[in-house]
Amino acid sequence: MPRLTATPELLAPAGSATALQAALAAGCDAVYFGVDCFNMRVAAENFRRQDMAKVVGRCHARGVAAYLTLNTIVYEPELPAVTAVVRQAVDAQVDAVIAWDPAILLACQRAGLPCHLSTQASISNSATLLHYHRTFGIRRFVLARECSLEQIVAIRQSLQQELGPAAAALEIEVFAHGAMCVSVSGRCFLSDYQYGRSGNRGDCLQPCRRKYRIMDVEGELEYELGEDYVLSPRDLCTLPFLDRLLQTGVASLKIEGRNRSPEYVDVVVRAYRRALDHLAAHGLSADWPVLQAELVENLKSVYNRGFSTGYFLGRPTGDWCQAPDSRATQRKEFVGPVVNYYRQVNAAEINVQGQPFAVGDELLIQGPTTGLLRVQVNAIQVEHQSVPAARQGTHVAIGVDRKVRLHDKVYVVRATPERAGTPAAEPRP
């Protein structure tokens, strides 16, 4: 593959202030975030509507775009709220809204606010894409997750035939990494039927992630469905074929994960940043396969259900989870809060309330302003005396390489015992 003439945007999730800072520090080009309305991730920490300007300001200060997700369905009594939140987004200088309900698309069009069509709209062909473009003026489309690489190329070719040079103004965005829903494009009613908690309103309880049994109507026969969780897909991972994905000409690579931790955001964004920068600078150099393998291993360290290629390389038959929880090779355990920062010596004082740690361990320090800081513990002091380990119930000091804040949370990183030496499944080629 030749060097890229244009590197696609790397779009990161920001489900909290800490995750936002982690995404910015890790090198994303844009973030997407939700507020307390019309949000498909209500379980995330999210932001308040009055915080929009602060979020956008943090992003723009780093040259990063900020997209607001208003991607649920909208009910009749909520129409005034749609107008109000779109007006707030304009005032906050949000770069674009991600939505699919026509009420929100129309409100954005009237307000002159760019809108990216959510994957919830299931755009999978050029005719539908052109309809939304001509009706609502939309210029970026997050394709349905069912689209293969060949179909993405075919859509772009059809747009060029229909629009000529004007087709270059229409952008295609795809999900590149993260959780996948059994209903693929997300319009599932299982949680709503069982618990009255609708996935289409961002409130899914994910009953699909459980193991199920089949019983015949007479009650004589009962089967447990093997080792696979047949309603629970593995996570999408495009790193093993990222060069092929980029050849389709997509404008933006989106990382799923507004419900995921700041360290997840940090690891995943850094991995795809390094991959994109390498391909832009060197193309398919001899060391690209080595870097790919290293980055996939890094991705396995944080929350995942095993990896899948999704639909990009064809129908992903059999790509189901084989366990109910994460396949991450690492876990974090709470140590305690930061209670002081000594600027002159770049040291943090920690109240060890939970897990102890020792010299040689890795710590994560997380906070809404600090973001995420990884610290390799080279020395520990208690009352200016060096000690080999920090015990529960003590206050200790460690060196840090940048400022941390009062009440930042500190975690120690441990290998996950049952995962050590048994990494998550590779995406099939």
The angle formed by the CA atoms of residues 197, 68 and 304, to the nearest 5 degrees, is 60
State pTM to two decimals.
Answer: 0.83
Model confidence at 429: pLDDT above 60: no
Residue range(s) of every CATH 2.40.30.10 domain in the chain: 331-415
Residue range(s) of every CATH 3.20.20.70 domain in the chain: 9-182+233-321
CATH architecture of the domain formed by 331-415 = Beta Barrel (2.40)
Compute φ and ψ for 178, nearest 5 degrees: 125, -175
Structure tokens at 45: 């920490």
Of the pLDDT bands very low, low, confident and very high (cuts 50, 70, 90), residue 423 is: very low
- 108-118 pLDDT, tens digit each: 999 999 999 99
Q: Go through the chain and tell me how many residues it has.
A: 429
User: Which stretches does DSSP call E strand in 252-404?
Assistant: 252-255, 307-308, 320-321, 330-342, 347-351, 357-358, 362-367, 371-376, 380-382, 385-387, 389-390, 395-399
Model confidence at 278: pLDDT above 90: yes
Of the pLDDT bands very low, low, confident and very high (cuts 50, 70, 90), residue 186 is: low
CATH architecture of the domain formed by 9-182+233-321 = Alpha-Beta Barrel (3.20)
Lowest mean per-residue pLDDT among 145-154, 314-323, 378-387: 314-323
User: What integer pLDDT is reported at residue 41 of this predicted model?
Assistant: 77
